[in-house]
Amino acid sequence: MELRRYPRVASPAGVLVAWQSSTSRAVSYLDTIGLGGLFVLTRKPVPIRSTVQVLLDLPLGEVRARAVVRRVSPTRGMGIEFIAMSQEDRARLSKSLQPLLGTA
């Protein structure tokens, strides 16, 4: 059963996200992306409920956000939910997602 508020789609190949928590810092590939969050591919995910800062470098510009880890798949990655983002960053993310979601 899908409980997400926003749909997620497969990330375009090669999109990276820089992220950091209080205990870890890394650059990883994205698996899925949506307005509500993303799934980060990493062999060393941080624990559920950890707060992370993320930086996405998208074609329309950088998107910075604060997020919380909602799901962990050991050795595969972590699902994170955005909890804070500027209006400008949200607009860039939304515009970048339009072609992927078929809403362009």
pLDDT tens-digit map of 16-46: 999 999 989 999 999 999 999 999 999 999 9
Domain residue spans of the chain: 8-99
pLDDT tens-digit map of 47-93: 999 999 999 988 888 999 999 999 999 989 999 999 999 999 999 99
Report how far residue 83's alpha carbon sits from residue 10's, in angstroms, rounded to the nearest whole number. 21
Question: Are 50 and 69 spatial neighbours (Cβ–Cβ below 8 Å)?
Answer: yes
Report how far residue 70's alpha carbon sits from residue 17's, in angstroms, rounded to the nearest whole number. 17
**For the domain with range 8-99, which CATH number is right: 1.10.3720.10, 2.40.10.220, 1.10.10.10, 3.90.1150.10?**
2.40.10.220
Residue 88 neighbours by CB distance under 10 Å: 12
By three-state DSSP, how is residue 89 classified? Answer: helix
- pTM assigned to the model: 0.89
